[in-house]
Amino acid sequence: MTIADAAARLAGSPVRGVRVVHGGDLSAVWRLDLADGARLIAKQGALVATEASMMKAMAATGVPVPAVIACEGDLLLMEWIDSNGGPGLEWDELAQVLACLHGAQGGSYGWAEDYAFGEVTIANAPADDWPTFWAERRLLPFIADLPAGLRARIEELARALPDLLPRRPCASLLHGDLWGGNVLSSGTRVAALIDPACYHGDREVDAAMLTLFDHPPPRFFDALDLDAGWRERQPAYRLWPLLVHLRLFGGHYRRGVEACLSELGH
């Protein structure tokens, strides 16, 4: 059965057009134009059911996300969102959106299921405290593939995390992969957050991820009203997505990993 046939059955309308959407690391992605005039996003992959549950969790907080239309087997259908790119003029509104998202809190750190970025597993089993979660679920899983010197530096940092990170911050609902490409804008408003890798943890993680490829203005961080010392913790939180990129793409991402470690004194 083709994607068009499977999507037509789930959506209840024939598919008149199918176009590949580039940029997905976890699944194949298409834009579908239906006979009834609707336009949808179709994703096919092993983890689409987990993504659907994450989208629904985010939607329940009131933040803008594409509506889940249907999910069956390895196929997920979602609402198409018109946009003109990532964060631009709407940093103030994005701060409000994140305040809403992060206001939803869980009973523990992590998520009910593991997830993945491509071939990189995202371990989400709960831990007794936040420094332990960040060390054992986010940093240490990468060290087996690193050169000995870099491995030792990350191990040293992992041991020092109880002195750097808060022991029990609020277990906020995180987007988990909040770089600029996953924030859709329309004019000067936030149209939707997409492609989540949700779990519960310190809300400063989402703030740190937005600094990987974008440059949020100071007023954005002021509006988030982060806890004292947040600037000093940002390199520890940027380190994880940089390790993911180093594993997936190699090359110059090692420089970013080493820069974060140096900022942290390790």
By annotation, the residues acting in catalysis are 177
DSSP string, 11-51: HTS-EEEEEE----SSSEEEEEEETTS-EEEEEESTTHHHH
The residue whose two tokens read 């996003």 is: 41
Let me know how long the chain is. Answer: 266
The whole-angstrom separation of Cα 42 and Cα 133 is 33
Burial 107-128 (b: 16+ CB within 10 A, else e): eebbbeeebbbeeeebbbebbe
Q: How far apart (Å, rounded) are the C-alpha atoms in residues 202 and 170?
A: 6
